[in-house]
Amino acid sequence: MSSVEHRASPLHDAALAIFPHASLHGVMTFAPGEPMALLELLETAPGILVAINAEKIGRADPVIVDLAATQLGYPDGIGAVLALRRRGIRATRIAGADLWLRLVDRYAGRRSFYLIGATDEVAGRVAQRLRESYPAITLWSRSGYLSSGEQDRLVDELNSLRPEVVLVAIGSPRQEVLMQRWYGAHPAVYMGLGGSFDVYAGTKARAPRWLREAGLEWGYRLLREPARLRVLPTLLKFLVHLVIGRP
């Protein structure tokens, strides 16, 4: 990464001044409390929002560790909430799958958006639905399947269009790597969304509300997506660290 990429973003510096935070297995995580506090902070400074959960804390991937140290990691998963509370910090879960929609609702008509992720069909369906809900919105969209050449051309496109909010639904840690690169070329508000476009487009189901409110959405995803069972050892490692007070 370049020296520009290692420099703390204005969003990170602003969060340091007002939000409690802790290093969880090396992953800096803030506790904004309520989504509104986080959305209000986005009025003041550009930067990257990084969703932190038990998997990211347990894995402590250097990409995530470095990014969270200079941007704004927030407790997207119940594991991150419990780890913060273990450190004596009052934290509540802020689900990225909900936060991005609140962000759009707050800024539609006032800020421009670029949606990057999923297939062309899904990205187009998300963009169409947002335009129907917010007629005044300015947005562009494209698939998240990017060749090396397309990644390079996208840097030029971001510099040309100058979107103020870039929503990236590609999956971790690839989306974090790309957001860091794009932020270095075009500072804006960036947010990683994983599979949120598929959920919004109706091609993937989200956990029922009662499971989400009980902090069990992660279990629902494991059952619905057996491929995610590969993360189970990482989750167990996180749980052990949580119990012995080391996250």
β-strand 27-30 against 21-24: which pairing, if any?
antiparallel
- Residues 1, 233: Cα–Cα separation, whole Å: 29
What is the reported pLDDT for 5?
46
- Residues 197, 170: Cα–Cα separation, whole Å: 9
Three-class secondary structure assignment of the chain: CCHHHHCCCHHHHHHHHHCCEEEECCEEEECCCCHHHHHHHCCCCCEEEEEECHHHHHHCCHHHHHHHHHCEEEECCHHHHHHHHHCCCCCCCCCHHHHHHHHHHHHECCEEEEEEECCHHHHHHHHHHHHHHCCCCEEEEECCCCCHHHHHHHHHHHHHHCCCEEEEECCCCHHHHHHHHHHHHCCCEEEECCCHHHHHHCCCCCCCHHHHHCCCHHHHHHHHCHHHHHHHHHHHHHHHHHHCCCC
What is the reported pLDDT for 78?
93
Q: Which residues contact 156 (CB under 8 A, 6 or more apart)?
A: none
Torsion of Cα atoms, 221 then 227 then 232 then 238, to 10°: -70
What is the reported pLDDT for 229?
67
- Residues 107, 173: Cα–Cα separation, whole Å: 27
| Per-residue tokens: 219 | 């279990």
Q: Residue type at 56?
A: K
- Residues 51, 176: Cα–Cα separation, whole Å: 10
What is the reported pLDDT for 212?
81
- Segment-wise mean pLDDT, segments of 10 residues, the chain, 247 residues: 64 97 96 95 95 94 95 96 95 96 96 97 97 97 94 94 97 94 96 95 86 78 74 78 73
CB 48 within 8 A of CB 183: yes
What is the reported pLDDT for 2?
39
CB 12 within 8 A of CB 72: yes
What is the reported pLDDT for 160?
96
Q: Which sign does the torsion angle of CA 92, 229, 98, 166 carry? A: positive
